[in-house]
Structure 1
Amino acid sequence: MANVKVKLFANLREIAQTSSLSLTGDSVKEVLLSLTEQYPALKELVFEAGTDAKLCGYINVFLNGNNIKHMEGLETVLSDDDELGIFPPVSGG
């Protein structure tokens, strides 16, 4: 299992009351499941209702600066010292 740094932004950071944490997992999905087990209030913001296998359409997850949508999605394999950034939708003007 890879040891991964997870960085949370905006309301995700507020809910978890931390901006970063270390989690382990072999894939992005495993790390996100671990995150939502540790912080259950994040589950409805990260995964579509009733699923553990589909990201909410407005959530962006970046692995080392690259959007996982352009990789293998939730099945993207992780390595030690990778960094995941999880971004909720942002608005403003």
Structure 2
Amino acid sequence: MKVRFYATFREIIGRKEVEVHGVRTVRELIDYLAEHYNPKIREELLETPRVGPDKPVDGMILVNGHNVLHLDGLDTELKEDDVAHIFPPAGGG
């Protein structure tokens, strides 16, 4: 599957896009990215104070254009031909 990164996540990973194989869920995808590229991505997505029961990810992950929060969250299933987009949290005021 293709994974595309935006803003600070692009800096963390060091690329704008990677190919990933063998992951079955969004949670496995995050673990894979942390292990093979940079553990900071797990911290930024899953371990901030803004993460909680109603918000399992700090930022936004789209799979084929659908926000995983509206699917099965971190348990959203992934297929080899999927495209995931990982965005940092939106800022502003």
Fold-level match, TM-score > 0.5?
yes
Distance 2:31 2:86 in 1: 13
Structure 2: runs of 5+ lacking an equivalent = none
Q: Distance in 2 between matches of 1:15 and 1:31?
A: 15
1:14 aligns with 2:11: yes
Q: Structure 1: which amino acid aligns with 2:31?
A: L
Matched, 1:48 2:55: no
Amino acid at match of 1:65: G
User: 8 Å contact 2:3–2:20 — kept in the other structure?
Assistant: yes
Q: CA RMSD in A?
A: 2.1
The whole-number CA distance in structure 1 between the counterparts of 2:41 and 2:11 is: 10
Larger proportion of strand = 1
> What are the superposed Cα offsets for residues 20-70 of structure 1, whole Å, 9 maximum, x if unpaired?
101120111111110111211222111125xxxx87643111000100011
How many residues are aligned here? 86
CA contact (8 A) 1:45 1:56 kept: no
What is the identity, as a one-letter code, of the residue corresponding to 2:5? L
Equivalent residue number for residue 24 of structure 2: 26
Whether the 8 Å contact between 1:46 and 1:59 is mirrored in structure 2 is: yes
Q: Which moved more, 1:70-79 or 1:56-65?
A: 56-65
Contact 1:68 1:76 in 2 (8 A): yes
Q: Which residue is 1:91 aligned to?
A: 91
Percent identity, aligned pairs only? 34
